[in-house]
Structures are given as C-alpha cells and as structure tokens.
Amino acid sequence: IQNKRISYEEKKEKIFHPIGKKLIDITLKKKTNLIVSADLIDTKKILKLVSLIGDRICGLKLHVDIINDFSYSFINYLKKISIEKKFLLLEDRKLCDVSTTNCLQLHYGIHKISSWADIVTAHVLAGSMSIQNLNLPSNMGLITISEMSSYGGLYDDNYIRKALNISLKNPKVIGTVAQRKVDDRLLLFTPGIHFYEKKNNLGNRYIHPVQAFEKNGSDFIIVGKAIFQSENPKITAEEYRNAGWKAYENVL
Ligand code: BMP
C-alpha cells in the first residue's frame, strides 16, 4: 500500500545518534509526535505555555534570539522542566555559515546554545563541511533544513536531493526539515502545520497533520501559532497531539 510507513520502533533501529533515539523513546512513551514552536518574545509567556502543554509534547522549539529578557535562570528552569516533563529543547538557530562561524555561534555569545539545547537546526547551503567540526557535545544533535514550508522558496529538487545526501552522511544529523518523503535513516520534521489555514499572508504554507503523515511521511509535526495563539493552548495542543498520533497510526 502506497502510504505505508515504518513504525517509530523500526525507525529507532535506523537512527544511530543517541538524541534521535531519545526523541523516539519520548514519542513512544508519551504518544506524541508534536513539537511546539514557542515563538514568543517574553520568558514568562514561554514558561506559561510550557506549563500548559509540557505533558503533550515531545519537543519544544525555540528561537532564543527573539527573547527580550533571555537569561540563564530562564534557560536552567526550562531545562529542568524539560527533564521532568520529558521533552527535548530544540533551538531553531538555522546556522547557515562556514564551519568556523557556525561553531562560534553555537558555543559563544549570549545564548551559548550548546550548553543547553538538545538539538539545533542548520542549513547546508555552505556545503557539507559547514556542519562538520562543530564540536557538538555527544548528546546534542543537528536537524538540517533541506526544504522550507514557505512558498516561493529557492529550493529546487536538485538542492533538496543534495541537502538530504549531506544530512545522511553526517553522523550528528538526526533528521531534516522537508516537505516530502525522505530516507528512513533521517527523522522528518514538518513545520507549517495548521488544521484550517492553507497559507498565511506572510509567505508560510500550511498542511493538516494527516497530509503531513500520509503524503510527506512525516515523523514529527511542528506547530507554532495554531497553539500558542489559541484561546486555550492546553486543549489545542491536545487536539494537535491527538491528530498527529492518529495520523501516524493510520499510515502504519
Ligand atoms: P507557525 O506554525 O506559527 O507558522 O510557526 C512555524 C515555526 O517553524 C516558526 O518558528 C518557523 O521559524 C519555523 N519553520 C517554518 O515555519 N518553516 C520551515 O520550513 C522551517 C521552520 O523552522
């Protein structure tokens, strides 16, 4: 049957990086493939959101460089909650430079991403070497960006194929962001998820969780505004968790 996929258990056997395996373990334990993107500029708002949705998610995605009142007490507290509630912290830094600069951006500056994040995102525009020699801690993984959810992006099939190849060859890469099926040895992360919206007027495109799993072979859905801007993020997160989990089970 066309849409069949391998289970998370089978996928875990193909993923060698410990953080990839850990993410799958969390997903199976909590029955959730939902990653919430907390694109908020205020630490109190992020912590409030996490208190409402922490039980429903396998990962929390951050853009720490948008936070006005970033501090280590915030990050330490968030780290503690992530361990208690069992979810991973993803910093969506989208590194996109040569290896030396990527390395500096990962380890230094105000945010010292490598000191707390479980996963960081990176483009591979600058080539395979750009994501090598980053001195990542052994328990930190990379997610590459092979194809974005926005419309009018510059990614063509050739670029995407090459980005996927670079991802497969780098042992630090646990998976990728793309809008299509990828090799089973990569975890596939799908942003641009919404129950009702198809496009927003700022260039992002959206698909339903069912489409993400049936058509694209997604492993994890990433949901931002649909949850954190909803009237009741707790209930909405549960709706997306449930939809993502059912969509996964339906293609098994
Ligand atoms: P929202 O669901 O509110 O549109 O948020 C999507 C999140 O995913 C944003 O943080 C955005 O930076 C990120 N993202 C995306 O929208 N498309 C991609 O292809 C890759 C992303 O990381």
Q: How confident is the model over 225-241, as pLDDT tens digits?
A: 999 999 999 999 999 99
- 3-class state of residue 88 by DSSP: strand
Q: How confident is the model over 154-165, as pLDDT tens digits?
A: 999 999 999 999
One of 11, 12, 61, 92 is an active-site residue; which one? 92
85 membership: H or E segment, kind and range: helix 72-85
Q: Please name the amino acid found at residue 22.
A: K
DSSP 108-169: STTT-GGGT-SEEEEE-TT-GGGGSS----TT-EEEEESS-SBTT-S--HHHHHHHHHHHHH
ipTM of this predicted complex?
0.99
* 92 in catalytic set: yes
Has this prediction a pTM greater than 0.90? Answer: yes
Can you tell me which residue has the tokens 């490598």?
114
**Is residue 62 within 6 Å of ligand 1 at its C-beta?**
no
Q: How confident is the model over 131-151, as pLDDT tens digits?
A: 999 999 999 999 999 999 999
62 membership: H or E segment, kind and range: strand 59-62
Q: 223 CA distance to ligand 1 centroid (A)?
A: 8
* 97 in catalytic set: yes
